[in-house]
Amino acid sequence: MTEPVVTWQAVQAEVLRRIHDRVWAPGDMIPNEADLAIELGCARVTVNRALRGLADLGILDRRRKAGTRVALTPVRRATVEIPITRQEVERLGKTHAHRVIERWIGPVDAAWGLSEHDRYMHLTTLHLADGAPFLYERRVVNLAVAPMMETADLAAFSPNEWLVRHAGFTRGDIAFSAENASVEDAAHLACPNGAAVFVVRRTTFDGDRPITKVRMAYAPGFEMRTVL
């Protein structure tokens, strides 16, 4: 006999328990929402909320009519936090500072994959943690999309932070990779030429028009962590 369950968290925990204890093995079908609700003594919506969460994590596969089954090959989804650099540094208990190294307006190199007709602001920024190089960032901003950037004061807020506060909600894509530090990277990050640096490339859109593209190179030793 199952104990009565009420909250969706409890339902989730019970489902996870059954998966863990192999009452339901990977690939197995589990009862439909209505039946589970009756068995666990709660409303169907509650079961729905619980199972939906597990499906979002990739633990369950749900399809209308086909029902719900335990994922056979769980494509686990982990959530990584993408904070602005200042917060990232401060979370490490260090003091953040940033320096704008270069700032000029001009056309964009074809290598950036952007419309070559617009004007762009080119920004090179170094972020410091307790005075040591932390992140070297090279960015182009499309002034046709974000004209207010042209006169932005970047002393108090870094380019990214400034954009975040003034450009409203945006979509974007992001890619993580490892690269050997270029001469330029090495010089700014104070690391050996060729050292492995964690690189984040990010494009931010306003609708379907790219606002900004950036390549961020973290000083050696950087780690991005999360749980799953």
Partner DNA sequence: CAGTGGTCTAGACCACAAG
Partner DNA sequence: TTGTGGTCTAGACCACTGG
Residue type, 99: R
Residues 38-67 that bind DNA (CB under 7 A): 41-46, 48-49, 51-52, 55, 62-67
Look at residues 86, 67, 66 and name the one whose alpha carbon lies nearest to residue 159: 86
Closest to a second copy by CB, 105 or 174: 174
Site size toward a second copy (CB under 8 A) is 56
Closest C-alpha to 123, from 145, 99, 147: 99
Q: Which residue type occupies 53?
A: G
Would you give the binding string for a second copy spanning residues 117-146, x where CB under 8 A is met? Answer: ------------------------------
| Shortest Å distance, C-beta 11 to DNA | 7
- For residue 184, the minimal CB distance to a second copy (Å) is 15
Taking CB under 8 A as the criterion, the residue among 98, 139, 198, 211 binding a second copy is 198
Q: Is 80 exposed, middle or buried (0-12, 13-18, 19+ CB in 10 A)?
A: exposed
Name which of residues 143 to 172 contact a second copy (CB under 8 A). Answer: 161, 164-165, 168-172
160 interface partner picked from DNA, a second copy, none, CB below 5 to 8 A per type: none
Q: Return the closest-CA partner of residue 106 out of 96, 98, 116.
A: 116
Contacts of 199 (CB under 8 A, 6+ apart): 176, 177, 178, 179, 215, 216, 217, 218
For binding to DNA (CB under 7 A), which residues are involved? 6-10, 32-34, 41-46, 48-49, 51-52, 55, 62-68
